[in-house]
């Protein structure tokens, strides 16, 4: 068994009276592709925000690569090697594809704050490599706003790669793209995970994608983790059958 990269221990989060995360504990082994599923409002996004400390847990602990990171500033967590993929709205729409990745890379390399203008060749090799990995090298001078939706998702991933993540967290990476492109994106993520030695934790709605690309699946319901298992095991889970697969299918 490989070392766990992530240990989530008894996480709880209340929003007022709403118990959005209920005593959630799970472990992600190094190199795994782990899916989190659950209906709308089950607490998937909240759980990811707790892990990356964009939301503070009411109680519980997050251990990343053996270090307790509960309460650590989100940018420090990124520097430790845990990156949540930027959502499309976070792209700098007026900048080029290249500049979007360059900014992320500079942020990662920054030792001290500087107002000096950045030369466009700064960190160029690393930026181009991130773009090459997602297949955007030929579009690096295009303005981000004019990319197709699928290419914007690729750019999201390139920006995340610029942070050198060991654990990459994605909230519905293939949402809003056509089925074929969704599969291509998931295959890209899987190949990158192998190539860059990354562990993947992703939220996904589409069960075909989950069953095809996850090594292990965890199921959230009303804020609680009700099951974890292989795709085969989760396919046969009574709740999953009823909630996702129309019930009665074996």
Q: Which residues bind Mg ion (CB under 5 A)?
A: 44-45
Say which entry of ligand ADP, Mg ion, none residue 15 contacts (CB below 5 to 8 A, set by partner kind): ligand ADP
Say which entry of ligand ADP, Mg ion, none residue 2 contacts (CB below 5 to 8 A, set by partner kind): none
Interface with ligand ADP includes 176 (CB under 6 A)? Answer: no
**Minimal distance in Å, beta carbon 45 to Mg ion?**
3
Site for ligand ADP in 102-131 (CB under 6 A): none
| Residue nearer to Mg ion on the CB measure, 44 or 154 | 44
Q: Is 193 left (phi over 0), alpha (psi -120 to 50) or beta?
A: alpha
Say which entry of ligand ADP, Mg ion, none residue 83 contacts (CB below 5 to 8 A, set by partner kind): none
| Residue nearer to ligand ADP on the CB measure, 41 or 71 | 41
**Minimal distance in Å, beta carbon 175 to ligand ADP?**
12
* Nearest one of 218, 154, 171, 175 to 49, comparing CA atoms: 171
Are the beta carbons of 144 and 97 closer than 8 angstroms?
A: yes
Say which entry of ligand ADP, Mg ion, none residue 46 contacts (CB below 5 to 8 A, set by partner kind): ligand ADP
**Minimal distance in Å, beta carbon 18 to ligand ADP?**
6
Give the separation between CA 108 and CA 215, rounded to whole angstroms.
30
**Minimal distance in Å, beta carbon 170 to ligand ADP?**
13
- Residue count at the site for ligand ADP (CB under 6 A)? 11
**Minimal distance in Å, beta carbon 189 to ligand ADP?**
19
Are the beta carbons of 24 and 224 closer than 8 angstroms?
A: yes
Are the beta carbons of 103 and 95 closer than 8 angstroms?
A: yes
Measured CA to CA in angstroms, residue 68 lies from 7, 12, 56, 218 at distances of: 9, 16, 14, 22
Give the separation between CA 206 and CA 181, rounded to whole angstroms.
13
**Minimal distance in Å, beta carbon 41 to Mg ion?**
8
Measured CA to CA in angstroms, residue 105 lies from 46, 118, 161 at distances of: 27, 12, 9
Give the separation between CA 115 and CA 120, rounded to whole angstroms.
15
Helices (H), 28-169: 44-51, 74-80, 97-109, 124-133, 149-161
Site for ligand ADP in 44-103 (CB under 6 A): 44-46
Site for ligand ADP in 17-46 (CB under 6 A): 18, 20, 38, 40-46
| Residue nearer to ligand ADP on the CB measure, 20 or 210 | 20
Tell me the two tokens of residue 234. 């989760």
* Residues contributing to the site for ligand ADP (CB under 6 A): 15, 18, 20, 38, 40-46
């Amino acid at each position: 068994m490989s070392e766990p990269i992530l240990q989530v221990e008894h996480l709880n989060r209340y929003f007022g009276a709403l118990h959005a995360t209920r005593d959630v504990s799970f472990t992600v082994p190094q190199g795994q592709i782990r899916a989190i599923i659950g209906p709308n409002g089950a607490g998937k996004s909240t759980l990811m925000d707790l892990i990356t400390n964009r939301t503070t847990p009411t109680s519980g602990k997050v251990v990343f690569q053996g270090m307790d990171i509960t309460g650590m500033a989100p940018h420090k967590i990124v520097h430790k090697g845990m990156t949540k993929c930027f959502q499309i709205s976070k792209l700098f729409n007026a900048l080029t594809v290249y500049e979007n990745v360059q900014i992320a890379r500079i942020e990662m390399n920054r030792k001290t704050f500087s107002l000096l203008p950045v030369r466009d060749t700064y960190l160029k090799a690393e930026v181009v490599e991130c773009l090459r990995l997602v297949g955007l090298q030929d579009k690096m001078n295009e303005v981000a706003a004019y990319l197709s939706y699928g290419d914007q998702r690729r750019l999201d991933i390139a920006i995340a790669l610029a942070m050198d993540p060991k654990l990459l967290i994605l909230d519905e990476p293939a949402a809003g793209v056509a089925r074929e492109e969704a599969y291509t994106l998931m295959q890209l993520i899987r190949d990158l995970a192998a190539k860059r030695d990354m562990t993947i934790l992703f939220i996904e709605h589409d069960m075909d994608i989950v069953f095809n690309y996850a090594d292990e699946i965890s199921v959230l319901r009303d804020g609680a983790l009700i099951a974890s298992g292989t795709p085969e095991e989760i396919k046969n889970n009574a709740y999953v059958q009823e909630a996702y697969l129309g019930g009665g299918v074996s």
